[in-house]
Each structure stands twice: as C-alpha cells, then as structure tokens.
Chain A
Amino acid sequence: MACIEARGLHKAFGTTVALDEVNLHIDEGRIVGLIGPNGAGKTTALNAILGLTPYDGELKVLGRDPWNLRDQLMRDVSFIADVAVLPPWIRVTQVLDYVAGVHPHFDRAKSEAFLAKTAIKRGSKVRELSKGMITQLHLAIVMAIDAKLLVLDEPTLGLDILYRKQFYDSLLNDYFDHNRTILVTTHQVEEIQDVLTDLMFINRGRIVLSCTMDEFQSRYTELMVRPEQLAAARALKPIRERQALGRSILLFNSVDRQQLAALGEVRTPSIADLFVALMGDKPGEARGVAQ
C-alpha cells in the first residue's frame, strides 16, 4: 500500500501558488528526502500531508484524508516540526504523562529508556533545557510511538554537529524498520545523503525530481575532467559545469560512466551539487530538468 498518494494536489495563498498540481507517490518502508529552496512549497506539502492545512486535489495518507481525519491519522503519524514546538512551560514528566494519556501507540518505558541515555532531568521544564536537549526529548517521545509515518521538518535546525549526527543515528538504529516510512526536509542535505532511500526535489510548488537513491547514483555522474579533454567532455552536454582547485567539474545526467572515465576522474555527485545544478544559481528558479 502507498503511504502517501497525491493527485493534483494544489494550494494557493492569494496569487502565490505554493503547490502546483503535485502528483506524489511514496511507498511504505522508504526514507524520503524532500529537498527544495526556501519558499519552494516544502512546508505547505508537509502541512497538507499532516492535515494542518486544507488543499485542492486528492491526497491520501495511510489511506485517510488528512484534512478531515487529522486526529485519527495522528495515531499512526508522528511529526517533529522544528526544534521549538514543545511548550516551554511543560515538565518532562508531564509531557510523558500527557502523551501516554492520549496516544494509543505510545510506549512510555521505551521513551524513559531513551531519556536515561541523555542528561535530561525528569523534573526540568522545557524552557530550562538546551536546544539540543529539547530535540532529544522530542525524539524520545516520537521514537516511542509506534507510528507508520514519521514526518521531520528541519528537525536538526540550529543544533550542533554532535546532536545532528546523534539524531540521525538514533533514528536509523533504534527506530527505522521496513514497515515505517520517514519523510524528511532539511537544508543540511549532505548529512542525510547516506540515510535516504529516495530523493525528491521540489521547486515553485512542483516536484522537479523524484528518484530512488540507487537511480540517483546510476543516473548522475560527476567528472573531474582532465584539461585536455574539456572540449570532448563538454560535447557530452553536462547539466552543470563548475570550477574547483583550478579544474573543471562537470555534472552529467544519464551518460555512460565508462565513457566519462576515459576523460578524467568520475564519482557520484553529492545531493547538494545536483540540487544546485537543477535549481540554478538563482534561488527559486529551476532550469530545464530531465525527469
């Protein structure tokens, strides 16, 4: 069964189109990165999926209509919006009590076990915790919920590198299994490259790229070209060319890797490089995209 299925998903704020007839299909058991520049429609898409905003078109999350059945859907969906949504006045024990009191799939013991590995005191209020600790607390709650879909919107925003690494390690080692789906948006694309199974680029309310990471690796190749081969390489129509350390680096879409290897060193590009190539140097402006 598809975890998320959207057909003609559309949302406009006045004259600004945030989601432009989006079609989306995300299977169960995937870890999908939704990447896009600011204002591309990422948060609107997530809000529609979570039942936080009304929309036009058809959208089913775990078979349910999120806008009309948000409270039911939230039994099977967890989400971390960003670091600052736990209420500042609540105590750690109170937030555990509350979630245990309202959530049918929350395992309090699991949450306590995760918290025991942190420096968070049970009696502390959220406002007394550091940004990193608040994220750990939120993660401790979310990981103890037996959900089918976890949505993360910039979950590591403003965290230092240790917390960020720990965050994804915990998710992968202690949480993810092939019955769950994770949908994550972040600007720190480099740190989720190894985590993802699927990649989606969104720009100006449209999905401009949607592929698995395997497809990404086989389709896109980066070539650090030898200077004398530059003309030959350019003839193969790179989608982007940039300079680094005095050498030209060309990014190719669906060009045979063997053929390129004859012209220089080849490697798989980073998501960030492909992002820049597809989105253009001007934010919010996509070049022609091969899909």
Chain B
Amino acid sequence: MNAQSNAMHEAVVESVRPEAAVMPTKRPFWWSVRRELWENRSIYLAPLAVSGLIILGSLISTVRATQNAAFGFVIPSAHNGAPPVPDGIALHHIQPFNFAAFLLMGTTLLVAIFYSLDALYGERRDRSILFWKSLPVSDTTAVLSKAVVPIVIIPLLTFAFTVVTQLVMLLIKMMALLAAGQSVAKFWAGLSLFHLWGITLYHLVTGHALWYAPMFAYLLLVSAWARRAPFLWATLPLFAISVLEKITFNSLHFARMLGDRFMGGAENVSFTGGDMPLDPMIHLTPGRFFSAPGLWAGLAAAAIFLAVAIRLRRYRGPI
C-alpha cells in the first residue's frame, strides 16, 4: 500500500514540481521505528543493565571458585579425569547460561509490556501527537511501527543480548579453567551452546513474538483508547469479566483462556519433554505449534486489536 501511495504521490509531484523528481524515496515506516527506539531507550538499556549484572555475577562467582580451588577445593564443573557423563554435565554446565537467558527474557518481556501500554498514550499526554500528525505519516504506519517494537524488535534484541552475554560468560569460564590448568576442550564438549541458542531463538519467536502478539496488540489498543491510567484499563476489565463469569455461570473459561495465553500456553504446544522452555532435553515441535488453533485465533485477534487501535488513533487528540 505504501509503495503504491508513494508511486501515486510521485506521479503528482512530477506533474507539479519537476525539481522534486530527484528527491530520495522517503521511508516513513523505517524512521518511525527508529523514532520509537530514540524515545524508549529502556528497550536496550534495561537488558544491557541486566547483562552487566549477570556478567559481573559470573565474574565474581568464577573468581571465588578459583580461589577455593587454590586452597584445595575442586572446581565443581571440572571433574578431573572422571568419565564424561554427557547429559549430567551438560545440564550442570548449562544452568548458569540458561538462567542468564531466563533473566534477560523476563526483563525484556516487562519492558515490552510497559512499552505497549505507553506507546499510544504517551504521545497524547505530552501533546506531541499534534506534531506527529502534522507530518505525512499515516495512522496505520504510526501504529504498525509501534506494534513492531514488542513483537519483532524486542525479541530479536533479547536474542542478541542473550548470545553476547553467554559468550562473555563462556570466556570468563574458559579463562578460569586455563588459569587453573584444566581442560577447556572437555568443558566445551559438554556445553552445547549452539543448541541452547537454537532453543532460545525458537522460544522467543514462538512464545514472545507470535503467542504474545495478541497481548501486545491489546495493550496498544488500550493505550490508544484510555484517557488516563492505561494500566488499570488494561487489567481491571479482564478481571471484572472473569469475576462476572464466575458469579453468573459459575465457570472460569475466560480466566482459563487468559491464563493459557499468558502463563505458558505456547510452551504446551511448541515443546515436549522438558519442564522449562530452555531445558536442553526438550524437543521442539514447530509442526504442532504452527497448527495449533490457539496460535491462529490469537493472531487474528491481534490483527483486529491493531485495526481498532489505528482507527482510534485517527480520532484521538491530545489529552
């Protein structure tokens, strides 16, 4: 649609202003996404801070473990001469890496939720919506550029931060092993980092992006609609519907549906054989995930929520 309207526009421009024909193509969507990152620096500062903490923590624990070893204790992760027990060692080695990924994902999920709640509310509160609307950027472009942040940008950034953090952790661990004169190769063999990254990316795409997409779209909708307190408007009505259903029908279908959506519904269809999404023992089941009706119903709901948000932004002015 964009290319089409640009083309239409250029046709008009060429007939009226010949000098305008050489103007570079404008990219309102790209610049609108960049604008979101300028405004919401917590999108990368929050995971950066968490990464820093994780690296600091792993540095301290490694130094302490090395000191203990110097006093005659054994570094727990390096069993001298013991025959390798692949699964046991892998799990043992991988746990801190897993925990790092878990912390980063939790952080960015919170950032994404609060970002979505403020995205279309903040611009009305500070009146800047009048400035944005004075530029040739459609409401559709504006809302979709905001939807892309929690659904695409934040999961990808989370993956990048996770990989970098785990690499630094690995580096620290290897230096400690080298300093203690122990085998790095054995440690490396027991650690299937690429496998873990694969699972991480799969979990981010299926769980955080696709499964949570309707949640982010719903939050954007509330953020476009609320005149004040978008957080309360986003949560209380859901709670009220659940209570009402319990009182009138003595059932909890709505509450269960919400629970299924937000409390790990994605993991039930995208993995088997593990307790945690990042458990290295689990099997990925993308076929089951992509054929789950819940996924497609959710994406359809997300599309409807976004369409309503676009319409609301058109009508809404500063508050």
Contact = CB atoms under 8 A, between A and B. Distances in A.
Contacts of B281: none
Interface residues of B, number: 33
Interface string B211-224: 00000000000000
B38 interface: yes
Nearest to B19: A146
B317 A52 contact: yes
A86 B127 CA distance: 8
Contacts of A71: 136-139, 141
Q: Dominant SS at the B interface?
A: helix
B26 A87 contact: no
B133 interface: yes
Contacts of A73: 136
Contacts of B128: 85-88
Interface in B1-41: 5, 9, 13, 17, 20, 23, 26-28, 30-32, 34-35, 38-39
Given A84-B127, A87-B126, A74 B39 contact: no
B131 interface: yes
A101 interface: yes
B130 A102 contact: no
Contacts of A53: 315, 317
Interface stretch (A75-83, A168-176, A255-263): A75-83
B134 interface: yes
Interface string A83-105: 01111111100100111011111
A84 to B, nearest CB: 6
A51 B314 CA distance: 9
Interface residues of A, number: 36
A90 B138 contact: no
A288 B151 CA distance: 60
Interface of B: 5, 9, 13, 17, 20, 23, 26-28, 30-32, 34-35, 38-39, 123, 126-128, 130-131, 133-139, 141, 314-315, 317
Interface of A: 47, 50-54, 70-75, 77-81, 84-91, 94, 97-99, 101-105, 138, 146
12 contacts: A50-B133, A50-B134, A72-B5, A75-B136, A79-B134, A87-B39, A87-B123, A90-B39, A91-B38, A101-B26, A101-B31, A102-B136
